[in-house]
A and B are shown apart, each in its own frame.
Chain A
Amino acid sequence: MSGVVGKPAPLVDARAKVTGRGVYTDDVKLPGMLVGKILRSPLAYARILSIDTARAEALPGVRAVVTGRESEVRFGVLPVSRDETAMAVDRVRYIGDCVAGVAADDEEIALEAVRRIEVAYEPLEPVLTLDEALKPAAVPIHDRTLAGTNVQKAVDQSFGDVEAAFAASAFVERRQFRFAAVTHAFTEPHCVIAHWDHDGRLTVWSATQVPHYLHRALSEVTGMPMHLIRIIRPMVGGAFGGKSDPFPHEMIAALLSRRTRRPVKILFDREEVFLTHHGRHPTRTDMAMGVSSEGRLTGLDLKSLIDGGAWGSFGVVTTYYNGVLCMGPYRIDHFRYSGKRCYTNKPPSGAMRGHGAVNSRFAMEVLVDVLAEKAGLDPIEFRLRNLLPPMTTTINEFRITSNGTREALETVRQASEWDAQHGKLPYGEGIGVACGFYISGSALPIHWTKTPQSTVHVKIDSDGGVTVHSLAAEIGQGSDTMLAQCVAEPLGIPLGRVRVFSSDSDTAPIDLGSYSSRVTFMAGNAARRAAEEARKELVAAAAALTGYQPEGFVLRDEQVVYAPDPRIAVSFMDALQEAIKGRGALVARGCYAAAPPMGGKFKGAAAGLSPSYTFQAYVARVSVDPETGFVAVRKIWAAHDCGRALNPTAVIGQIQGCVHMGLGQALAEDFRYHRGNVLDANLLDYRTLTPKQMPPVDVFLIETHDPEGPFGAKEAGEGPILPVAPAVANALHDAVGVRMQELPMTPDRILSEILRGAPGPKARPPAPAGGAGSGRPLVPAGP
């Protein structure tokens, strides 16, 4: 043991980042490189009658123009919904849909060529709302929809008997919630370079979370076997789910390069980033929950109507997740879910941090608060009474292992001085609680193959340097550092001896990528196992050198030590030289092949099934100006059960980032459309919280030491966003008596709820002038 696990570590690539030397895709400049640009649809829904590229091709400096006819092969991240093509073939499906691609000597020529492409459209009636999408359509947006409507996917699940449970309940509360779309708003625009070289190989550099899925999709779209394609993932400037699909622009760059045999770079401007979107689905959620006279949750009845935009993306998974990720952290014995995801003529929705769980979680935590009130119980006390225990199975057959919800709730209760504040603060001041529940990777992979979900190779040669090879995508979350730690720990070496190579599909074994919060759990386990394989050889070498039994050796402080008598020790380097003598470098591999068998046999049983789950409990403290509806979030207390924090710096950073993104969705962010146009397609009008709006966050790491996680670890990247918005909503109720049922909770919406006659200031003493706390005021989101 080297003791690197559990200690705060700067990211292994931090120096490259702070010096600007780190290479992102747009920093790659290649000889002969062309500039690629995309012609996008100005119409939300239309037939393409003709495309005339002659005037574009006639422009000197234009090297290739491609349209949808170049490749009509369908692709998509999920095998069940391959509904995208590189460019529109017969119809455009949203404003911003890709129609043609141009490669030219420079950007100005490429843009002029795009302008010269003439497209004749026959407009079709666009489908822009969920209600329209449910009706039979003259021309459904895609071929495979339900009964001639634009419903892409319907999920119906039922466990126990919700109706009977409700009939036997003391109270049943039923409400409707509405959620606006939100988007990732990462700082690095999408960028790709494709080079189809004269040897007939295709190399693609791309800002992606999923190099392996990109690899597969490129192979399908181009017809090139995978072994002739190489994916290189340079540094990625933020992703949050927004770079987790194979994208049309990646296909277009490859097709342009196939024509020109020169490298083609496509870099998006910020408006294109917004049009590409793939953010959180706009959703309408109807939820009912019941409570018994003993204060126990009885049942959950949930209907979700989900706006998918123009493509399938991860939407089938989203549809399941909206339901099944409500199965924790509370014990619920009767559950019914009906979810529908619809196609609309808007930029596609997809996966975004907390994928599929965030909106339903908001509804659920607000309802739990309502029921606590009805039951006459404190919201934390009520939650504590209703928790799932560790090591249990849910009604839908999720296998729950480690579960730190109880400790998380008790921690934030104490730290926030909850008992002295909840229900006791002056009018306008409030405190609220919410929990969360999320997966650490999906137990079953998207493609049902026998390829392990994660494989890691470790090489140690006579220089004593340890190289780690993986395709787990470092996107800023710190996965390279995590891999280095998981390798260094069993080998008893410092991080400085380890170098991680996670960018290149030619040298790395397959990893499914950085999505669904799977990397620490799966790639971390694979890395640890690879290092343990290498360790066996070092131990055998030390045993040979000393004549002692291998069973007694441990690795620590760059020594292979015989534990029963620590005076017997061989240095790491001496053991290494012995191990590679006459054989060459130590090469070891480890994998996370599959989760243990688990789950039910019913349709959809695999959705939401994870080898481990994380749990959260947050408290939010807010001040509300009852005359304007302005909210200031004073503080967030955030307790997250991460199993074990391999790198506390990174885990805390993920939680703080989740709070920022969650507060944005709660209070300000709104991806607005007008007749299919994205209204706020820039980072000024799309309002993420500024530094001055961000409250202090007290983070508490709850370490439950998961039995199957690497060194006990579980995910930290997504679950921590879940309690943010509902904790704020519940605090608003404590402050001014409103129950917010629509996100974002803008001042105008809060004010209208206050004016609708929520219990007024008479119930509580007036707030002292200036309000409580020292938090920063929030600037309202504009209407």
Chain B
Amino acid sequence: MSEGLHAIRPPEQRVEREMVRLRVNGAEHTVAVRPYDVLLDVLRERLLLTGTRRGCDMGTCGCCTVHLDGRPVLSCLTLALEAEGRDITTIEGIAAGEEAGALHPVQEAFVQAGGSQCGFCTPGFIMTAVSLLERNPDPTEEEVREAISGNMCRCTGYIAIVEAIRMAGRELRARRAGPSAAAQGRP
């Protein structure tokens, strides 16, 4: 009902577009954007990277979380222009370091632990969790809960999500400890 961020200017008023270079999941894109275009719209509507979900357009649900230089941001509150020259990673690029077709350990843990029910919030949680585990490879349960507090899930009660993130943390730590330890670390 609200007119939203998109209706700030009446359409007959011509808005200057600016060419912006965006590096998304390692690939370079040039996109003509208006000053007020947010990253979420550019990802979903221009680059057709629809894995980043639109839940509220106002920074309350976390479904649109992506990484800017490895840090989680809400793409609905990030101007596309702010992202110029920075590394943008979306859910589509999160498993880039894995063997072809394999999931990132956080993704795999969400599958195994039942951390995803309807799945709509899942990409946002995974982006938040990957960033957390990069900064803090062995988070306590409280630290996990703190880290995901900006992401909303209505299906799981967060329990299986917390489990999945801690499960992924164990896997990632085992990997870092070396291949033999990795084999032992797997359940």
A residues sitting closer than 8 Å to B (CB atoms) are 8, 10-11, 13-24, 26-27, 29, 40, 59, 61, 96, 106-109, 111-112, 115, 184-189, 235-240, 267, 269-272, 275, 475-478, 649-650, 652-653, 656-661, 682-684, 688-692, 694, 696-697, 776
Given A10-B112, A478-B117, A690-B149, answer yes or no on A20-B123 (Cβ-Cβ < 8 Å): yes
Residues from chain B with a CB closer than 8 A to the CB of A18 are 103, 107-108, 110-111, 116, 119, 122-123, 126
Main secondary structure of the interface of B (DSSP, over half): loop
Can you list 30 pairs linking A and B with CB atoms under 8 Å apart? Answer: A11-B111, A13-B119, A15-B111, A16-B119, A18-B116, A18-B119, A18-B123, A19-B91, A19-B107, A22-B119, A27-B50, A108-B10, A112-B11, A187-B118, A187-B152, A237-B118, A237-B119, A237-B120, A238-B155, A270-B55, A275-B1, A652-B114, A653-B160, A657-B155, A660-B158, A682-B56, A691-B149, A694-B157, A697-B157, A776-B145
Residues from chain A with a CB closer than 8 A to the CB of B136 are none
Pairwise interchain contact B120-A23, C-beta atoms closer than 8 A: no
Residues from chain A with a CB closer than 8 A to the CB of B100 are none
Total of A-B residue pairs, C-beta within 8 Å: 200
Residues from chain A with a CB closer than 8 A to the CB of B120 are 24, 186-188, 235, 237-238, 476
If A17-B118, A652-B114, A682-B60 are given as contacts, then 20 extra A-B residue pairs at C-beta distance below 8 Å, sorted by A number, are: A15-B103, A17-B122, A19-B95, A20-B50, A20-B53, A20-B122, A23-B50, A29-B48, A106-B11, A107-B6, A108-B10, A112-B10, A236-B118, A269-B57, A270-B55, A476-B118, A656-B156, A684-B58, A691-B145, A691-B161
* Cβ-neighbour of B158 out of A112, A185, A272, A691 (below 8 A): A691
Residues from chain B with a CB closer than 8 A to the CB of A26 are 50, 54
Residues from chain A with a CB closer than 8 A to the CB of B156 are 653, 656-657, 660
CA distance A15 to B160 in the complex (A): 16
Within 8 A of A (CB), among B34-82: 48-58, 60-61, 63
Nearest B residue (CB) for A239: B118
Residues from chain A with a CB closer than 8 A to the CB of B116 are 11, 14, 17-18
Pairwise interchain contact A188-B53, C-beta atoms closer than 8 A: yes
Residues from chain A with a CB closer than 8 A to the CB of B92 are 19-21
Is residue B153 within 8 Å, beta carbon to beta carbon, of the partner chain?
yes
Q: Which of B52, B60, B92, B151 has the most CB of A within 10 A?
A: B60
Is residue B3 within 8 Å, beta carbon to beta carbon, of the partner chain?
yes
* Cβ-neighbour of B55 out of A14, A188, A696 (below 8 A): A188
Pairwise interchain contact A187-B95, C-beta atoms closer than 8 A: no
CA distance A240 to B117 in the complex (A): 12
Given A19-B95, A683-B152, answer yes or no on A694-B1 (Cβ-Cβ < 8 Å): no
Pairwise interchain contact A656-B2, C-beta atoms closer than 8 A: no
Pairwise interchain contact B50-A657, C-beta atoms closer than 8 A: no
Residues from chain B with a CB closer than 8 A to the CB of A59 are 11
Pairwise interchain contact B154-A184, C-beta atoms closer than 8 A: yes
Is residue B187 within 8 Å, beta carbon to beta carbon, of the partner chain?
no
What is the minimal beta-carbon distance from A692 to any residue of chain B, in angstroms? 5
CB-CB contacts of B108-152 with A at 8 A, as 1s and 0s? 101110101111111100100000000000000010111011011
What is the minimal beta-carbon distance from A770 to any residue of chain B, in angstroms? 16
What is the minimal beta-carbon distance from A354 to any residue of chain B, in angstroms? 14
Is residue B24 within 8 Å, beta carbon to beta carbon, of the partner chain?
no
4 nearest CB pairs, A to B: A20-B51, A476-B118, A237-B120, A17-B119
* Cβ-neighbour of A96 out of B1, B145, B148 (below 8 A): B1
Nearest A residue (CB) for B161: A691
Given A10-B112, A15-B111, answer yes or no on A187-B157 (Cβ-Cβ < 8 Å): no
CA distance A27 to B91 in the complex (A): 15
Residues from chain B with a CB closer than 8 A to the CB of A776 are 145
Residues from chain B with a CB closer than 8 A to the CB of A187 are 53, 55, 61, 63, 118, 120-121, 152-154
B residues sitting closer than 8 Å to A (CB atoms) are 1-4, 6-7, 9-11, 48-58, 60-61, 63, 90-92, 95, 103, 107-108, 110-112, 114, 116-123, 126, 142, 144-146, 148-149, 151-162
Pairwise interchain contact B56-A270, C-beta atoms closer than 8 A: yes
Pairwise interchain contact A660-B157, C-beta atoms closer than 8 A: yes
Pairwise interchain contact B7-A683, C-beta atoms closer than 8 A: no
CA distance A269 to B55 in the complex (A): 8
Residues from chain B with a CB closer than 8 A to the CB of A40 are 1
Residues from chain A with a CB closer than 8 A to the CB of B119 are 13-14, 16-18, 22, 235, 237, 476
Residues from chain B with a CB closer than 8 A to the CB of A184 are 154
Pairwise interchain contact B118-A186, C-beta atoms closer than 8 A: yes
What is the minimal beta-carbon distance from B77 to any residue of chain A, in angstroms? 13
Nearest A residue (CB) for B10: A112
Residues from chain A with a CB closer than 8 A to the CB of B153 are 187
Pairwise interchain contact B114-A653, C-beta atoms closer than 8 A: yes
Residues from chain A with a CB closer than 8 A to the CB of B161 are 691
CA distance A8 to B109 in the complex (A): 14
Nearest B residue (CB) for A109: B11
Given A17-B116, A20-B50, answer yes or no on A694-B58 (Cβ-Cβ < 8 Å): no
Residues from chain B with a CB closer than 8 A to the CB of A8 are 114
What is the minimal beta-carbon distance from A149 to any residue of chain B, in angstroms? 30
Pairwise interchain contact B55-A111, C-beta atoms closer than 8 A: no
CA distance A361 to B56 in the complex (A): 33
Residues from chain B with a CB closer than 8 A to the CB of A61 are 11
Given A184-B154, A683-B60, answer yes or no on A269-B107 (Cβ-Cβ < 8 Å): no
Pairwise interchain contact A688-B154, C-beta atoms closer than 8 A: yes
Given A19-B92, A188-B118, answer yes or no on A269-B2 (Cβ-Cβ < 8 Å): yes
Pairwise interchain contact A111-B3, C-beta atoms closer than 8 A: yes
Residues from chain B with a CB closer than 8 A to the CB of A106 are 11
What is the minimal beta-carbon distance from B124 to any residue of chain A, in angstroms? 9
Given A19-B51, A683-B56, answer yes or no on A108-B154 (Cβ-Cβ < 8 Å): no
CA distance A776 to B9 in the complex (A): 45
Residues from chain A with a CB closer than 8 A to the CB of B142 are 692
Pairwise interchain contact B58-A682, C-beta atoms closer than 8 A: yes
What is the minimal beta-carbon distance from B112 to any residue of chain A, in angstroms? 6
Pairwise interchain contact B11-A656, C-beta atoms closer than 8 A: no
Pairwise interchain contact B118-A111, C-beta atoms closer than 8 A: no
Given A691-B148, A692-B149, answer yes or no on A653-B155 (Cβ-Cβ < 8 Å): yes
* Cβ-neighbour of B154 out of A16, A20, A112, A661 (below 8 A): A661
What is the minimal beta-carbon distance from A681 to any residue of chain B, in angstroms? 8
CA distance A24 to B49 in the complex (A): 13
CA distance A27 to B123 in the complex (A): 14
Pairwise interchain contact A111-B7, C-beta atoms closer than 8 A: yes
Given A269-B2, A656-B159, A660-B157, answer yes or no on A112-B111 (Cβ-Cβ < 8 Å): no
CA distance A352 to B162 in the complex (A): 26
Residues from chain B with a CB closer than 8 A to the CB of A238 are 117-118, 120, 154-155
